[in-house]
Amino acid sequence: MAVYVDRPMWPLAGRKWCHLLADDTAELHRFAARLGITRFSYQGPPKTSAPHYDITGFERSRALSLGAIACGRQEIVEVFRRVRVKNSKASKAA
């Protein structure tokens, strides 16, 4: 299983943020824990259709050093589509 991270491009609170996704939700949580990110930061159904964490550019650097795969915008969208929960409340609203 793999963990993926896109480029930090979403500005918020003076930082740029990116997405951390994985092929499996359990793997996503394990990897986030290794980064020191709490479950409080997790975003998933029903709030959003794809399980992920928003992380800072600094956390992205650490994620890459721990083995996450760097993705461009198109690649991360493909991962998002692959891992999304199709019957979640968020996907029905889209």
- Does the residue 93 lie in any domain? no
Q: What is the dihedral of CA 26, 27, 33, 36, to 10 degrees?
A: -140
- Does the residue 36 lie in any domain? yes
Domain extent, residue 35, equals: 3-84
What's the number of domains the chain is made of?
1
| pTM listed for this prediction | 0.84
- Does the residue 91 lie in any domain? no
Q: Would the CA dihedral through 12, 13, 14, 18 be positive or negative? A: negative
- Does the residue 68 lie in any domain? yes
- Does the residue 10 lie in any domain? yes
Q: Considering the chain, what percentage of its residues have pLDDT values greater than 90? A: 64
- Does the residue 55 lie in any domain? yes
- Does the residue 30 lie in any domain? yes
b (16+ CB within 10 A) / e for 67-90: ebeebeeeebeebbeebbbeebeb
Using one digit for the tens of pLDDT, what is the confidence trace for 15-51? 899 999 999 999 999 999 999 999 988 998 888 889 9
Residue pair 9/54 in contact (Cβ under 8 Å)? The answer is: no
Give the whole-angstrom CA distance, residue 52 versus residue 43: 5
Q: How confident is the model at residue 4 (pLDDT cuts 50, 70, 90)?
A: very high
Residue pair 8/17 in contact (Cβ under 8 Å)? The answer is: yes
Residues 66-93 have a mean pLDDT of 81
- Does the residue 94 lie in any domain? no
Residues 61-70 have a mean pLDDT of 96
pLDDT over 80 (residue 67): yes
> How much is the pLDDT for 22?
95
